Amino acid sequence: MKSLLIQHIQSLAGIRRSDELLVKGVAMKHLPQEEDAFLLIENGRIHSFGKMEAAPERADEMIDATDKMVIPCWCDSHTHLVYAGSREAEFVGKINGLSYAEIAARGGGILNSALLLNQTDEAELYDSALQRLEEVKNFGTGAIEIKSGYGLTVEGELKMLRVIRKLKENSPLTIKATFLGAHAYPIEYKENRKGYRDLLIQQMLPAIAEEGLADFIDVFCEQGYFTVEDTEEILTAGAKYGLRPKVHVNQFNIIDGIEACVKHKALSVDHLELIAENDLIALKNSNTMPVALPGCSLFLRIPYTPARRIIDEGLPFALATDYNPGSAPSGNMNLVMSLACINMQMSPEEVINASTLNGAYAMGIEGELGSITIGKKANLILTQKIPSLAYLPYSFGSNLVERVILHG
Ligand code: NIG
Ligand code: FE
């Protein structure tokens, strides 16, 4: 039995009962905290916490957290962290005036990454992804969702998902895998879109299910990619294998995809840079988490998700990085939280709730992670000496995470 005692914590934040599985509406403005606190970890789990005067005398390892904060690790529920190569040439193209759609039309974008991925072997993909995981861990991320979707062939998609499985086995982070075969139509299927959907449904899905490689299914539901009808067909097929949807929708256009996602019991709908009244109504009658990706808005210079409209409707809200080579080449949750405060008028308490418990919910691990709760996995951030929690998103571009404790 190994124990770790953190003492004299200036503020221990994100304290929740075990039956609080997400935070929504006005409650998001509140981040329950204990000041001058201790927290005891035993066997990698939160054993107890409270006021310093009630702290146990000793443990196998002791940390002094005077003037420092302890918060749950960031739960980044939307990334494409496994990829090959990079796309800085497109970045320069964008600086020179090309849009995301124009770049894609010239063979750039997702298809460019797919080409590179299919030329890269599993070991190399694994090594680069492991390096990125190490990087995001140092930013405070303790749980992460990773999508496939740069394979777009049976072999390529399986290769990506096997890399994610290997990361799950070897990384201290908690990882969830999402099958995103419906990320873009490959060039060969440009005139035969049904052919690609058939391949996805009849060959990719059964092979993935056979090896148990995916936890969720995703579709890029967007003009020029997968229609709402395509999306429904794919989600229906995924449901036969028990894969709950987490869907890319309303990034560039409103195409009534959110209602369809809710109908298919999506765990999350992600992007939502644009949102209509009927989208909000659909979300209100659902258990679906809206997820915003402000790093993508910054990088592509597209609108930021209207967080205020969504939260003020009484809905929950999560933040994630979208870490990928095309639209958000950064896995820095601290920056994402600053962007949400600055450009989405979210308060520091709201962005922390959106990046911890609600992020955990958006990848189905809210019972294990995302809050300071007895029995949960001890994936925690110990900050540097900081005057207040608001100082975290205020210091945009800095990394004030001193230490990341994963599973004790
Ligand atoms: O979430 N929108 C679709 N997929 C990614 C972009 C992927 C890429 O450009 O490589 C996104 O923004
Ligand atoms: Fe994405």
* 59 and 95 within one domain: no
**Quick one: which of 327, 313, 317 has its CA closest to 349?**
317
Mean pLDDT for 363-388 is: 98
Q: Which atom belonging to ligand 1 lies closest to the Cα atom of 322? A: 1
The closest residue, in CA terms, to atom 9 on ligand 1 is 326
- Give the pLDDT band of residue 106 (cuts 50, 70, 90): confident
212-to-101, 161, 185, 243 alpha-carbon distances in Å:
34, 10, 24, 10
Any domain includes 55: yes
* 314 and 226 within one domain: yes
CA 322 to ligand 2 center in whole angstroms: 5
CA 276 to ligand 1 center in whole angstroms: 22
Instruction: Summarize pLDDT for 143-160 with one digit per residue, the tens.
Output: 999 999 999 999 999 999
CA 253 to ligand 1 center in whole angstroms: 14
Any domain includes 114: yes
- Give the pLDDT band of residue 100 (cuts 50, 70, 90): confident
Average pLDDT, the chain: 97
* 90 and 145 within one domain: yes
Any domain includes 198: yes
Residue showing tokens 């916490």: 49
CA 53 to ligand 2 center in whole angstroms: 46
| pLDDT the model gives residue 108 | 87
329-to-114, 202, 268, 303, 398 alpha-carbon distances in Å:
16, 33, 22, 18, 17
Any domain includes 350: yes
- Rounded CA-CA distance 327/337 in Å is 17
Sheet with 244-249: strands ordered across: 74-76, 141-147, 174-182, 216-221, 244-249, 268-271, 289-292, 318-319
Ligand 1 site residues (CB inside 6 A) read 80, 109-110, 113, 220, 248, 251, 296, 322, 324-327
* 255 and 236 within one domain: yes
The closest residue, in CA terms, to atom 11 on ligand 1 is 327
The SS3 call for residue 24 is strand
Q: What is the CATH number of the domain that holds 214?
A: 3.20.20.140
Per cent of the chain over pLDDT 70 is: 100
CB-CB contact of 113 with 87 (8 Å) = yes
* 92 and 65 within one domain: no
Amino acid letter, residue 75: C
* 341 and 398 within one domain: no
* 249 and 149 within one domain: yes
Q: Which two tokens stand for residue 400?
A: 């004030």
- Rounded CA-CA distance 282/310 in Å is 12
310-to-64, 91, 284, 318 alpha-carbon distances in Å:
39, 31, 10, 11
Any domain includes 295: yes
Any domain includes 219: yes
| pLDDT the model gives residue 177 | 99
How buried is 211 (Cβ within 10 angstroms: 0-12 exposed, 13-18 middle, 19+ buried)?
A: exposed
Residue 200: which region, alpha, beta or left (left: phi > 0; alpha: psi -120 to 50)? alpha
| pLDDT the model gives residue 1 | 66
How many CA atoms within 13 Å lie on the side-chain side of 133? 26
Does the structure show a pLDDT above 90 at 107? no
Residue showing tokens 């969830």: 176
CA 156 to ligand 1 center in whole angstroms: 17
What are the DSSP E strand ranges found in 164-271? 174-182, 216-221, 244-249, 268-271
* 165 and 66 within one domain: no
* Ligand 1, pocket-test mutation among 99, 246, 248, 291, most atoms within 8 A of CB: 248
Mean pLDDT for 365-370 is: 98
- Give the pLDDT band of residue 194 (cuts 50, 70, 90): very high
* 93 and 68 within one domain: no
* 240 and 377 within one domain: no
Q: Which two tokens stand for residue 223?
A: 């003009």
* 137 and 18 within one domain: no
Any domain includes 366: no
Q: Which atom belonging to ligand 1 lies closest to the Cα atom of 296? A: 12
Any domain includes 135: yes
Report how many domains make up the chain.
2
* 57 and 140 within one domain: no
Q: What is the CATH number of the domain that holds 381?
A: 2.30.40.10
Residue ranges making up the domain that contains 18: 4-72+371-405
